[in-house]
Structure 1
């Protein structure tokens, strides 16, 4: 049996990616349970809202040959805007829940000595950090949008540092300002390796997510062949939205990778994990020596 993944250690490019999937393999069942337990409601609510929005949009654009339900354009627009805003809220809460639940799982895994925590243990961290991360995500999101609006290059430059933003908040229990500043300090002189790891991880995540979208693509192609006047069907809309939301489970991969990157950079610059292991060895040696003297 493979040794349990140790987070607090220096890793190279391949080890970060390899240990990301090794950690998922070793913790698959408890991680999946954590995901369902803490993210399931937001996932289901977002899915149902997305289906409703897409079906209404499809109907209003003439895709469905049915009589209009609404009596005025204002009512149709206001209803659609309300549904779309609700969808945005559920998507934000869903992403927030994934980040908080997975990172809370990891910090408890480390504290328990590389042992999978229970959902009750994760809940303690989850409820403590949920709104802190949610509030911080607004600031981080605005910052990223500004960077990409100014130019694509600033957005790409800050992305590796911002990927460490949430791990720092939870792993170090720090404030937004401290986490923002520390994320850039950790990435300093390590930008290229960090960006390369994140690029590979996100490419892998993207292609794994696309696999779930294959059934919807097959239905779309079949409908396009058999129904040339109306290639998009209700079944395609529902299956496509369902596949999209199910594929979000793969978002766990870059979150775990970002945690490994965080500890890798901390160990390279501060060696906190190494020092704690040395202190632990010293404490064990002193305890054994004390026991031998008593004997």
Structure 2
């Protein structure tokens, strides 16, 4: 289908499993450049920070492995493994990666909210930035707390963590689309997912698996260079280049997290439409309104 004649994504409609995944890729295809621009401008700092901290951590580990190889049978450095593995650099990698993924998710949700308000037209970077600033603090806090909550629940008892995972995933777009606080958004997410937990869990799990597969493919060259840098002796230049290249690809791979972010947003609208049916009322309100989506962009009604 010609891109000019291709119908824009209608968010407020009930979707099934496969339709949500297909609409996710369609939305990315239709808005690739418009999506990439705010992601680079707004999330660039966090991605660069995660890359830099990752380089420092990898160089530290390469140095440790070199010391162990030099020591030979001597176990002098064995007791220092934890110090080299879990130092400041390690926790900086975790922190900046979490902030980077949270920023990507927030940019996607802000973009979609503005896209919808603009009548299915991609917003400018300035518009996304203004909305991003309004939600950045609470969204980051919620992302980190929700992540810690799920990890603790999985660690101490697997089932509660698995149960909370879809609730926290849908709560994040609720915070942006409905302008709600963290606690209220979690309650709202629970209400939306009621009777739809399995479908929500399966959909988000598939989106994450696709994300990890894409990131894994991108990470193959960096993994090979890292292994070469570690096991080839007396190659400081290869070690440095391999660490930097690996870290850059790992940072760029974080952009693939737009997939679960868009899937969660689409699924939020699907659940909301299924339970409340606001999409039809919205189209009626926009009837004859030139600021809203044109009639030829409305989805076809099925009976």
Could you say whether these structures have the same fold, taking a TM-score greater than 0.5 normalized by the shorter chain as the test? yes
1:181-260 equivalence runs, <5 A: 181-219=187-225, 227=232, 233-260=239-266
Hey, what does 1:125 align to over in structure 2?
131
Residues 213 and 240 of structure 1 are in contact (CA less than 8 Å); yes or no, is this contact kept in structure 2?
A: yes
Deviation at 1:91, TM superposition (A): 2.1
Moved more, 179-188 or 194-203: 194-203
After superposition, what is the alpha-carbon deviation per residue over 1:172-228, rounded to whole angstroms, capped at 9, x for unaligned?
A: 00011111111111111111221221122122111111121121244356668x848
Hey, what does 1:50 align to over in structure 2?
54
Check 1:275–1:221 CA distance in 2 against 1; reply closer, same or farther (3 A cut).
same
1:152 to 2:158 alignment: yes
SS in 1 for 2:13: coil
Hey, what does 1:288 align to over in structure 2?
none
The gaps in structure 1 that reach 5 residues or longer are 67-72, 285-295
Check 1:19–1:97 CA distance in 2 against 1; reply closer, same or farther (3 A cut).
same
Hey, what does 1:4 align to over in structure 2?
8
TM-score by length of 2: 0.82
Check 1:14–1:35 CA distance in 2 against 1; reply closer, same or farther (3 A cut).
same
Aligned pair count reads: 276
Hey, what does 2:144 align to over in structure 1?
138
Residues 226 and 246 of structure 2 are in contact (CA less than 8 Å); yes or no, is this contact kept in structure 1?
A: no
The gaps in structure 2 that reach 5 residues or longer are 71-78, 291-303
For the residues of structure 2 that align with 1:279 and 1:257, how far apart are their CA atoms?
A: 26
Deviation at 1:94, TM superposition (A): 1.3
Moved more, 169-178 or 200-209: 200-209
Check 1:136–1:242 CA distance in 2 against 1; reply closer, same or farther (3 A cut).
same
Hey, what does 2:75 align to over in structure 1?
none
TM-score by length of 1: 0.84
Moved more, 95-104 or 35-44: 95-104
Check 1:227–1:141 CA distance in 2 against 1; reply closer, same or farther (3 A cut).
closer
